[in-house]
Structures are given as C-alpha cells and as structure tokens.
Amino acid sequence: MAFVAALILALTAAVLQQLMIEDDTVDRKEPEPNPLRLWREMPDGLRNLLLSDILIRFCERIPDSFVVIWATRTVLHPVSELTFGGLSTIENITAALVYLPVAYMADRFGKKPFVLITFGFFTCFPLVLLHAQSTGPLVAAFIVRGLKEFGEPTRKALIMDLAPEDKKAGMFGLYYLIRDVIVSAAAFAGAFLWEISPETNLLTATACGLAGTIYFWVFGKDLKGRA
C-alpha cells in the first residue's frame, strides 16, 4: 500500500508540474552536448564544491539504507516500525521549518557559511545516531538529520552562482551526473562496512563527512569568488 501511494503521489506531482509551471520563452543559445568540454569549463570554485559534496554524500549514503535497521533492530532499546515512521516525520518537519529562514539569511550574509553548517549536520548525524540507543536520543538524531537540509537550497543556488553564465543548466546537470555516479558506490561500501560492524559503518561515514566539511571550509568559494 505504501508503494502504491508513493507511485500515485509521484504521478500526480508530474502532472501538476506540467499543468502549473510555464516554460520560459527566452531565446536560448545552442547548448554544449559534450560533458568533457563542460568539465574543462567548470570553474575551480564549482569543482571544489563538487568534491566536498561527493564526500558529504558518502557520509549520507553509507549508512542511509541501514538507519531503519539500526533503530528497529540494533540499538539497546529498539523502536517499532510505526515509531520509526514518527521519527521520519520529525526529520521532515525539521527540514521544512529551516528552509525559509535560512534562504533569507543566505541572501543577506552569503551562501558559504550556510553550506558549511549543512555539511556539519551531515557529518554529525551518523555520530549522533551511533550513541542513540533508545527513543529519546533517536528523536534528537532525527532532528539533526532534518537539519542537514539547513542549507541545501543554498548549496543548489551556489552551484548556479559559480557556473558560467551561458552554461548554467548544462553545468548543473554535469555536477549531478558526476556526483551521483561516484556516490552510487557508497551503497556497496555501506553494505560491506555494515557486515564488519554497524559502528564501522557509522564511523566511516562520519570520517567522510568530516573530510568534506574541512575541504569546503578551506577551499570553498562563495558568490563573486569570496573565500
């Protein structure tokens, strides 16, 4: 029933998008179809963000499929599947509550600090989860998991800021192509690490997140090339 409901919602969203979002009529230049040429034109600031983001997504994806197993089977005081659904609700409500305030502040104070804070929340989640052995600490862990959306819209806006003016759509697509192809390996890595031990899985994820956060802190750029 859950799968059917999800499918219906996805199809409804696709139909509404076509009906409610108008396409622009601006004259477009001929797009660059060759990803290798696009890669050569990718600015250093965007490449640094991409590398940081790849490390952060390893932090997210390594434990991602196993969070439900951790909460409902592994911890000292496991929760029910229904309670896990409540934890996911807390995560999504937390994410929704931070979107608008952060977007407003990012427009005023620059994007890099908010992306950096977001990467910090990604990094903290597996570590907090590791020490969450009952319902109360799990609630705290899922609030942290929701806060990882803290600067996600800001990060996407930063991609567009750093992309060349006449190749923004192509550069955006190349960014996600490279990131998601590489990060897809994290699911396999996560399974092997979980077989070693759940603690190994979560600590490795934290290490990836810490590396990505530090790299972006040192090399990341903001709009107009601000460090």
The SS3 assignment for 56 reads helix
Residue 81's pLDDT band (cuts 50, 70, 90): very high
Domain boundaries, the chain: 40-222
Cα–Cα distance list, 138 to 63, 67, 77, 190, 199 (Å): 15, 10, 10, 20, 16
Q: For 226, what's the count of Cα atoms within 13 Å in the CB-facing half-sphere?
A: 10
The SS3 assignment for 31 reads coil
pLDDT for 206 equals 98
Counting Cβ atoms within 10 Å, is residue 133 exposed (0-12), middle (13-18) or buried (19+)? middle
- Top pLDDT among 121 and 221 is at 121
The closest of 177, 183, 176 to 159, measured between CA atoms, is 176
What is the rounded CA–CA span in Å between residue 62 and residue 204?
A: 8
What is the rounded CA–CA span in Å between residue 146 and residue 153?
A: 14
What is the rounded CA–CA span in Å between residue 134 and residue 78?
A: 6
Is the pLDDT assigned to residue 213 strictly greater than 70?
Answer: yes
Q: CATH: 1.10.1660.10, 1.20.1250.20, 2.30.31.10, 1.10.8.60. Which one for 40-222? A: 1.20.1250.20
Q: How distant is the alpha carbon of residue 61 from its chain centre?
A: 9
What is the rounded CA–CA span in Å between residue 52 and residue 220?
A: 8
**Summary mean pLDDT of the chain:** 91
Contact 193, 204 (CB under 8 A): yes
Predicted TM-score (pTM) of the model is 0.88
Tell me the pLDDT tens digit for each residue of 130-184.
999 999 999 999 999 999 988 888 899 999 999 998 888 899 999 999 999 999 9
Cα–Cα distance list, 218 to 108, 156, 211, 215 (Å): 22, 19, 11, 5
What is the rounded CA–CA span in Å between residue 141 and residue 18?
A: 37
Is the pLDDT assigned to residue 190 strictly greater than 60?
Answer: yes
Query: Which structure tokens are listed for 126?
Result: 């597996």
DSSP string, 112-135: HHHHHHHHHHHHHHHHHHHT--SH
Tell me the pLDDT tens digit for each residue of 17-72.
999 988 766 666 677 778 888 999 999 999 999 999 999 999 999 999 999 999 99
pLDDT for 227 equals 39
